[in-house]
Amino acid sequence: MRKVTCLGVCLAAVLGAVTYGAKQQVMILEGRLASLERSVSAQKEAAHLLKAEWAHLTSPARLEKLAQNHLNMAPMGGWQVISEPQMSTFLDHAAPHTSDMRYASAQDTPLLEGD
């Protein structure tokens, strides 16, 4: 009888200790979870701010100005676009005169004007 009681008390003590340990573990984890969630939310806020800044920095007006000032570029004209059937004639005309395609302009290739 005394043995059984002793065993019961021991078991209860062990179980109690295990439960207590588990509970502590959960508490620590919950604390970490909360702090992670807070940091995620802070990061999200920061990302959001950066997105807004990115949208501001990539606004077409700004990009156009930068391209004009630093790359010496201008909006494309209709004459700079040709359709596929015109391509072969364009290449035939352009190739003998200029070694570099970049210098072929509408002035060299009258076929681009008119329709």
Partner 1 sequence: MGPSSTYFPRSFSPKNAGLETRAGKAIEVARARLWMATIVFIFCLVAVFGRLVDLTLLRSGEDIDYLPKDQVFASGRADIVDKNGLLLATTLVTKSLYANAKKVQNPRAAAKKLVTLFPQLKENVVYSRLTSGKTFVWLIRHLTPKQQAKVLALGIPGIDFVRDYRRVYPQGNLVSHAVGFTDIDNKGVSGLEVTYDKRLRSDSAPLRLSIDTKVQHIVREELLKGIEEFGCSGASCCVMDIRTGELLALVSLPDFDPNAPTKAEEDALFNKVTLGIYELGSIMKVANTAMALESGKMHLGTRLDVSAPLRVGRFNITDYRANHGVINISEIFVYSSNKGSAKIALTLGAEHQKAFLKKIGLLDPPQIELPERGSPLVPKRWREDKVITISYGYGLSVSPFQAMGAIASMVRPWGKITPTLLAKDSCEPIQGERLVSEKTSRSLLHLMRFVVTHGTSRKADIPGYFVAGKTGTADLLINGRYNKERVAASFVGVFGPDITQPRYAMVLRLYDPQRLKKTYGFNTAGWNAAPVSGRVMERILTVEGILPKEEGKILEPFFQNVSFEKK
Task: Kindly state whether residue 110 participates in binding partner 1, applying the rule CB under 8 A.
Answer: no
Determine the residue type at 90: F
How far apart, in whole angstroms, are the C-alpha atoms of residue 7 and residue 10?
5
Residue of the chain from 79, 95, 101, 105 that contacts partner 1 (CB under 8 A): 79
For 95, the token pair is: 């190739």
State the minimum distance, in angstroms, from the CB of residue 61 to partner 1.
6
Q: How many other CB atoms are there within 10 angstroms of residue 18's CB atom?
A: 10
How far apart, in whole angstroms, are the C-alpha atoms of residue 22 and residue 103?
76
Task: Kindly state whether residue 112 participates in binding partner 1, applying the rule CB under 8 A.
Answer: yes
Residue of the chain from 72, 83, 88, 99 that contacts partner 1 (CB under 8 A): 83
Q: Which residues does 80 contact at the CB level (< 8 Å), separation at least 6?
A: 106
Task: Kindly state whether residue 78 participates in binding partner 1, applying the rule CB under 8 A.
Answer: yes
Among residues 84, 81, 105, 80, the alpha carbon closest in space to that of 94 is found at 105
Residue of the chain from 8, 64, 89, 92 that contacts partner 1 (CB under 8 A): 64
Task: Kindly state whether residue 24 participates in binding partner 1, applying the rule CB under 8 A.
Answer: yes
Which chain residues interact with partner 1 by CB under 8 A?
Answer: 19-20, 23-24, 27, 30-31, 34-35, 37-38, 41, 44-45, 48-49, 51-56, 58-61, 64, 75-84, 112-115
